[in-house]
Amino acid sequence: MDGQSIQLNEAAQNVAMTLRRGALEPLWLLCVVVAVDFPVFVLAFWFVLYGASPADAFNPIMAAGWAALASVVFVSTMAAIGAYRGKIIASLSSFIFRTVLSVFPPLLGLAFFGPVESLGAATVAAVLSLTIAILPTRFGYRIVVKWVMETGLIARRTVIAGGGEEAARLIRGVRDRVGNDIRLYGIFDDRDDIRSPTQVLGIPKIGDYDDLIAFVRASAVDLVIIALPFAAEGRIKWLLDEFRVLPVEVGLSTHSKDYAFEQSGAPYLKKLRRSFAPECRLTKRLFDVFFAVIALLILWPVMLVAAAAIRLESSGPVLFRQLRHGYNDRTIEVLKFRSMYVEHADPSASKVVTKGDPRVTRVGRFLRRSSIDELPQLFNVLRGDLSLVGPRPHAIQAQSSQQDLFTQIVDGYSARHRLPPGITGWAQINGWRGEIDSAEKLEARYAHDLYYIENWSIWLDLQILFRTPLSLFSGKGAY
């Protein structure tokens, strides 16, 4: 099943078009709530200190610092006890109860360590200011979050693999579950219409299993649920093996008791957990923007000199643009400094660059060996097409020196696209860069990419980023 070569049928394509943009992740909602809560409670704690201090002894700037610290403690406590979850916010009594609990740690801290001179006055000020802060915000959050949940803006967009009676049981279970956040958009099944009808309880069958991977790549689906009975164990394992190339959560209806599909009881699903979850995406994006801006501020003179050298040696544009595979196999346009003569430029990468390749200019050879030709990709990072660290993006029809496509050499090669591609990566700092002239080299690079995906952390990204300059000195495989 190769999602890159399959043309979606019209029904699946129409549904995919409606799911181009991802649902609002609960994490983003949490960030908005925290962004509002923090300044509101800074002001509330400031008034607590104002009411607890004599007029002639009150220092507004010092009080602002203590209030900010108290607000950090408050917000952290709220997050630690799960008070910012959508279901809690939607329940007014539960949300207010957790808010009151979270207020006590910073209040006690201010009473024992802060500039509080009158506990009685502090208590009165705390009741008044915190009540004014808590009630309006909690009522407001509840209205907004309930609306967001009811309209499905933070729902998990889901498709079903498998139809018939098992799909009907799943649909009923999801529909009847209290607080359900799953929205079903279609069914994929290979079986004929007798065993798997064209629609089940109003959910249409929009394709077969061959369509499914292409559909997930073309849309922003959050979850795929396999709705097959235990008796179809062989088919289930086959599907799981095919799904390993997708950056999507997979659930089994036969392993779910409450149809929440938040934690699967099936041990072999652990390797199919969502590899690019919202918290990962947010952390990685902040990391990328921060270090890409710093790199541009430091390296712009190098980029300017490289651009001038290219223009002085040969005519043509300074930048070379090439279509490559991005996150989830989507096509992106990657920028590089041009390292070849214009008449020999190869945007489709139909011929691999080899040692002493006459198509490469003298300046280009230095740029490629030092990886300076990759520096324009910092703009790709800022645009969001690339990450600083990740599996290197390969051309759409990438192939080895022997003219073999990478997808033919390594089975399941698309699995390396479960995280955004990067300018540098785990494979590159371990010497696996440059020409692919044997299957063993590609397999080693692929194994390193999978290791990175399955062990991703911000600390691993930092390690790779700071080791990259040292790895460039070897120049191994870079022509």
Per residue in 295-307, pLDDT (tens digit) is 999 999 999 999 9
Residue with tokens 């489709």: 348
Number of other residues whose CB lies within 10 A of the CB of residue 54: 9
Q: pTM above 0.85?
A: no
**Which amino acid would we find at residue 68?**
A
Condensed to tens digits (0 to 9), the pLDDT of residues 133-168 reads 888 999 998 888 888 777 777 778 889 998 888 888
Q: How far apart are CA 287 and CA 304, in angstroms?
A: 25
Indicate whether 382 pLDDT > 90.
Answer: yes
Whether 334 contacts 386, CB under 8 Å = yes
Structural class in CATH, domain 10-23+155-272: alpha beta
What is the CB neighbour count within 10 angstroms for residue 194? 7
Structure tokens at 329: 């196999």
Is 359 a residue whose pLDDT tops 70?
yes
Single out the residue of 146, 131, 67 nearest to residue 99, CA to CA.
131
Pairing between β-strand 156-161 and β-strand 182-188 as defined by DSSP bridges: parallel
Average pLDDT value for residue range 317-322: 90
Rg, C-alpha atoms of the chain: 28
**What are the distances in angstroms from CA 164 to CA 194, 224, 231, 234, 316?**
9, 16, 14, 18, 60
Characterize the bridge pairing of strands 203-207 and 199-200.
antiparallel
* Alpha carbon distances (Å) from 173 to 56, 178, 213, 228, 364: 65, 10, 25, 15, 61
Q: For tokens 């643009």, name the residue.
A: 321
Q: Which residue has the higher pLDDT, 337 or 192?
A: 337
Hey, is 319 helix, strand or coil? strand
| Confidence (pLDDT) at 381 | 95
- Checking if the pLDDT of 267 tops 70, the result is no
Q: CA 377 to CA 384: how far, in whole Å?
A: 10
What pLDDT does 24 receive? 60
Query: Are 331 and 323 contacting, i.e. CB atoms less than 8 angstroms apart?
Result: yes
Tokens read off for 440: 């063993």
140 Cβ contact partners less than 8 Å away, ≥ 6 residues apart: none
231-242 per-position pLDDT tens digit:
788 888 888 888
Q: What count of other Cβ atoms lies within 10 Å of the Cβ of residue 395?
A: 18
Contacts of 55 (CB under 8 A, 6+ apart): none
Find the range with the poorest average confidence among 3-17, 372-386, 400-414. 400-414
Return the domain boundaries, the chain.
Answer: 10-23+155-272, 26-150, 278-471
Residues in the chain: 479
Say how far apart CA 335 and CA 94 lie, in whole Å. Answer: 51
Q: Are 76 and 68 in contact (CB under 8 A)?
A: no
